[in-house]
Amino acid sequence: MATITANGASIPALGFGTFRMEARHVLRMVPAALRLGFRHVDTAQIYRNEAAVGEAIAGSGVKRADVFLTTKVWIDHFAPDRFIASVDESLAKLRTDHVDLLLLHWPNGTVPLAEQIGALNAAREAGKTRHIGVSNYTIALLAQARALSAAPLVTNQVEYHPYLDQNRLLSAMREAGLALTAYYAMADGKVFADPLLAEIAARHGRSIAQIVLRWLVQQPDVVALSKTVSESRAQENAAIFDFSLDAAEMAAIHALAVPDGRVLKPEGLSPQWDAA
């Protein structure tokens, strides 16, 4: 599995995500993904499946030390008096004494950013996580978070797919040494009806999902999260490192971006997103 290096962290370029995945599917799919060669598993407190993820990894036969494990602290736990306790609860559920990456899940102004970043650093200093980062941050918010953090941030996990131009954010992150971790790679299923992606997939003898994931990981400093409850599709998603897209194909997929391409924009959580 290829890896991305970001501010001292080596992150497997392809991760297995568990967003909206029920425990019964987690218990089946995480071991299957690990058997297929995935070594990066992503969860979050708000997904309510950390315990299943921990059980699945523990029973997978793959050493915990060989799995890059990410979880995210939910906004209700950002206050300093709740933060560490919530991380300890996550670690207990995950059956580990540390995660590899701990993220602030969404921006939230009810707790000062300095306190959020301070608590994130405290978790790292206590050995509860090896690396820290954020999720769903804009360019400006990311700059503020970096300025407040004693330890380097290694990633910003954001929505990224062919219909959403993230070039400005990605450029700012590259300058700061961060990796962009892409979620919603399939644009909530929209990619599967795209004629251009279908044409490129047919040309390579691949699936549309493989083309999109390859497009993501072929970009410097981009990590892609994939998700499926099908073992055959997980096997397909893992098989993206034995081919490449040419420059024209990469550009054509980038050109699919549209002004209102964002899929996930929850009210009350979304910041004022960066313009394309």
Catalytic residues: 47
Q: In sequence order, which residues have a C-beta less than 8 Å from that of residue 91 and are 6 or more positions away?
A: 97, 98, 99, 128
Residue 161 marked in a binding site: no
Cα 199 to Cα 207: distance, rounded to the nearest angstrom: 10
Supply 240's token pair.
Answer: 């993206």
Q: In sequence order, which residues have a C-beta less than 8 Å from that of residue 138 and are 6 or more positions away?
A: 107, 169, 271, 272, 273, 274
* Residue 153 backbone dihedrals phi, psi, to 5 degrees: -80, 140
From the list 56, 71, 55, 49, the residue with the least C-alpha distance to 130 is: 71
8 Å CB contact between 19 and 29: no
Annotated binding site for substrate: 105
Annotated binding site: 105
